[in-house]
Structure 1
């Protein structure tokens, strides 16, 4: 997993909680990297899981809520960091339909060792979009937060229904329905 996902997580903890809490969770996890992340480095996703679990213990917040909040935060960061992916895009459906073919294709070109999740977006009429998330990293909650962040960014009113396809969170179906 690319280091930017780790550095952004720690930045979120700094901003949403405190730098002191960030240091505390770093001190309390025992991971191979020692939590010395660089944005272009590659790290095992289980290190992020350990950081989230420790944050959950420190804040008495469910892991799923923290991971979803991280996904929402991450979308905002992607908008600021990679504005070219949003240029000319007018709505959430259009953006989500291009995640795999545009965003993830670019990630794979830049970082040949990266393995972003598979995102399949399929229109089911003018007002419905099905999004399937698949990844061995089991971060369906992060995908949920990213989708909510996308909807918020584009200022659309819509419902987001979630259906876990498996119990691990490695395959999740989202149905987005625009409000009439």
Structure 2
């Protein structure tokens, strides 16, 4: 997992819960990196899982809710550092439909070792989209949060529902309704 995911996560934890919480979740975890991350480094997903699990335990906020808050933070950071990824889109549905063929291609150029989820476009109309998310990391709530942030960026209301296609959440159907 790319370091930017870790550095932005720890920045969010510091911003929302303080530097003491950052130290606490790092010391509670068994991290090969010792909790020292660079945005361009690559780290084991298990480290992120430990950090977010310990944050959840220490704050009594569910991992899913933390992932939604993190999505908001991460989206803002990515847009700030890479505005060119979204600047030529005029509609959030167009942007979401281009995740595999444009956004992820560009992300791979910036972070060649990034292990990205896949989003298969199943159905698309002007106001509705169905996508299948696949990732062995089961971070579908982060995906949902990033999708919601996309609609906020364009100031377009949306409703996003999902259905797990397996118990682990490594395959999830998203039903996205615009408006």
TM-score by length of 2: 0.93
How do 1:125-144 residues align onto structure 2 when only pairs under 5 Å count?
A: 125-144=125-144
Q: Which residue number corresponds to residue 30 of structure 1? A: 30
- Could you tell me how far 1:122 is from its partner in structure 2? 4.4
User: What RMSD over aligned residues (CA atoms) do the two structures have, in Å?
Assistant: 1.4
- Offset from partner CA, 1:89-133 (integer Å, 9 cap, x none): 112111111121112112323443322111223443221011221
* Aligned counterparts of 2:6 and 2:150: Cα–Cα separation in 1: 20
- Offset from partner CA, 1:54-73 (integer Å, 9 cap, x none): 00111011111111221222
Q: Which residue number corresponds to residue 53 of structure 2? A: 53
How do 1:7-156 residues align onto structure 2 when only pairs under 5 Å count?
A: 7-156=7-156
Contact 1:97–1:122 at 8 Å: present in 2 too?
Answer: no
TM-score by length of 1: 0.93
Q: How many positions carry a matched residue from both structures? A: 179
Contact 2:148–2:158 at 8 Å: present in 1 too?
Answer: no
